Homo-oligomer: A and B are copies of this chain.
Amino acid sequence: MDAPSLLKLLEQIKEGRISPDEAVARLRHMPFEDLGFAKIDHHRRLRAGMPEVIFSQGKTPAQVAQIFKHMAANGGNVLATKASRTHFQAVKKAVHKAQYRELAQAVTLQQDGATYGKGKVVVVSAGTSDIPVAEEALVTAEVMGNPVAHLYDVGVAGIHRLLANTKVLEDARVVIVCAGMEGALPSVVGGLVHVPVVAVPTSVGYGASFQGLAALLGMLNSCASNVSVVNIDNGFGAGYVASMINRL
């Protein structure tokens, strides 16, 4: 149920072909089209102008494919995160144009090519191991219609690498910073830019990193005031928040 369909429905009322009461009934009915295990809310895209999203982890390939197909039928972009190649293969059979972004572990379907973001979303990451999360953020921002750029492997222990690349940061309207271990990068980046920074702790590290807890706490206590934080490894959330900001 996307905008054109809604328009069509409302025009049918105007033309007297269906009664307002019937229209209400249809509208009420449509968003909750019941698949047996999940109510897909097409209204969500209508409301937000955002793509529909599936969190694949813990779902079978068949489930992901079925939901993906239903979503695709609504005409917008679709994104399945934390998707394995096996998930992708099931989706691919159902929706041929679906693509797999290996690094980001994401399946995408780009049916709407419009640019919604008013500036550039720049994704920064601290180490090589943080790249999967950073890529998930990047792909999310792309699917949501933002120009993107990235700056990877610029951890704080080699501060000159970051400083040698501040040019990329200056172009950003929103910055996403992904880091594991001590999670210090958002504080440093936050001090260098004058735009909002969305920080993503990653579960990269061992021992006292406690699966990303150290990085999470570090970011929540950032001494840079323009930093806000999303869940550990939540590249999607960061990409989504950044896209929301970039549309303003």
Contact = CB atoms under 8 A, between A and B. Distances in A.
11 contacts: A28-B164, A63-B128, A126-B223, A157-B187, A157-B224, A182-B184, A182-B217, A182-B218, A225-B236, A229-B229, A246-B248
Interface in A180-202: 180-184, 187-188, 190-192, 194-196, 198, 201
Contacts of A97: none
Interface stretch (A4-12, A34-42, A107-115): A34-42
Interface stretch (A14-22, A88-96, A237-245): A237-245
A215 interface: yes
A218 to B, nearest CB: 4
Given A47-B194, A48-B194, A152 B229 contact: no
A180 to B, nearest CB: 8
A72 to B, nearest CB: 18
A131 interface: yes
A233 B217 contact: no
Interface of A: 28, 32, 37-39, 41, 43-44, 47-49, 53, 55, 57-59, 63, 118-119, 126-129, 131, 152-161, 163-164, 173-174, 180-184, 187-188, 190-192, 194-196, 198, 201, 203-234, 236-238, 240-241, 244-246, 248
A228 B205 CA distance: 16
Contacts of A58: 129, 204
Contacts of A131: 37
A211 B209 CA distance: 12
Given A173-B248, A195-B248, A218-B184, A228 B213 contact: no
A215 B207 contact: no
Contacts of A181: 221-223
Given A228-B229, A245-B248, 14 more contacts: A47-B194, A58-B129, A155-B187, A157-B224, A159-B188, A196-B244, A198-B228, A201-B207, A207-B216, A208-B231, A225-B236, A227-B230, A227-B241, A245-B245
